[in-house]
Amino acid sequence: MSQIKKVVLAYSGGLDTSIILKWLQDVYQCEVVTFTADVGQGEELEPARAKAKAAGIREIYIDDLKEEFARDFVFPMFRANTIYEGEYLLGTSIARPLIAKRLVEIANETGADAIAHGATGKGNDQVRFELGAYALKPEIKVIAPWREWDLTSREKLMAYAEKHGIAVDFAKKGKKSPYSMDANLLHISYEGGVLEDPWNEPEEDMWRWSVSPEKAPDQPTYFELTYRNGDPVAIDGKEMTPAALLAELNRLGGANGVGRLDIVENRYVGMKSRGAYETPGGTIMLRAHRAIESLCLDREVAHLKDELMPRYASLIYNGYWWSPEREMLQTMIDASQQHVNGMVRVKLYKGSVTVVGRKSDDSLFDANIATFEDDAGAYNQKDAEGFIKLNALRMRIAGRRRS
């Protein structure tokens, strides 16, 4: 442990990371640099600075990463229409490679020997942080206190905080917080509490971003999303930065009860976990992006993307954002988006997202061919006979063998 002279801690200012900060100082006898990432969690971050100063920290980083998060992580992921296990929009997963990247950058800037995080030994985040760090700085040392210390219960954490004079803030003594939450510009996740029984319905007052569909407005909300090279760039003709656009979609979706999800997922470490999620903007982006792709993508390109997507989603979920295979897939996905340009008209109503219009100068849809009316010879229906017989040939041969 004495070999560690300086460590960069991913620091929220909450109870766990405040205890970790003191624990690092005591156990490793090292200098601690704190890093607090603003990825759009909607919390005041300056108290983290004050707490770090009170703990004697000299190098304090509080970085606004919202635009980088949306532009370089969320938007590339949505170009692939990414969902994990058919439902999860990967809100927590996609923030971790950015935080890992910044931890390594700060370690390089400050000459730190190691990084530290507050992820537990049961979850996915430990894998995501550490795979990212090792990919970007192979010789970096990683300290994961939850895998080392004996503070294995909330009571022990509270006792440690009291012994060392660490402010408890929102966690009142003897009262267990009902949920473990993670928030960023893409989503909020909820775990623990009543959710640990998969039979229990989430409590209505748990949700932070969205009204219930039952209480959503009785009139639908319509708007138009403009796409350029596979990314949304404007709402109702008003161009926005990626972070601003995602925030506005969150507002629109949340007001209409869009984006709630309750699932049991398979963690990379092997256990099943029940979680509830709010992802209003991401839910809208997924539906609208598929709509504009339906006009602009060649059939076989679209189908190949759909085949590759589950693999791409697993790479992100399991922490392999910085892997060569994810980067290879991203290159393919981005190449497919060159002609994904145009406009999608969206209708939000009581929890639903419906695409009610789409148009593009790069559209492959030809009304002259697809029409049910007279196509003036644009398509020769007699050609279908030979097409069908050739495709049926192997089945006809097999059928004769069975007869």
Residue 178 CB coordination number (10 Å): 14
Mean pLDDT across the stretch 376-389?
93
301-329 pLDDT, tens digit per residue, is 999 999 999 999 999 999 999 999 999 99
Q: Determine the pLDDT at residue 101.
A: 98
Q: Determine the pLDDT at residue 169.
A: 61
Token pair 């970096």: residue? 140
The CA distance from 362 to 228, in Å, is 11
**Would the pLDDT of 33 be above 90?**
yes
Q: Let me know the angle formed at the C-alpha of 84 by 325 and 226, rounded to the nearest 5 degrees.
A: 85
The CA distance from 81 to 230, in Å, is 10
150-179 pLDDT, tens digit per residue, is 998 878 988 999 999 887 664 444 444 478
The residue that leads in pLDDT, 141 or 14, is 141
328-352 pLDDT, tens digit per residue, is 999 999 999 999 999 999 999 999 9
Mean pLDDT over each residue of the chain, to the nearest integer: 94
Helix residue ranges per DSSP H, 80-197: 96-110, 125-136, 154-163
**Would the pLDDT of 205 be above 90?**
yes
Q: Determine the pLDDT at residue 337.
A: 98
49-72 pLDDT, tens digit per residue, is 999 999 999 999 999 999 999 999
Catalytic residues: 16, 96, 125, 180
Mean pLDDT across the stretch 387-394?
96
Mean pLDDT across the stretch 375-399?
94
212-243 pLDDT, tens digit per residue, is 999 999 999 999 999 999 999 999 999 999 99
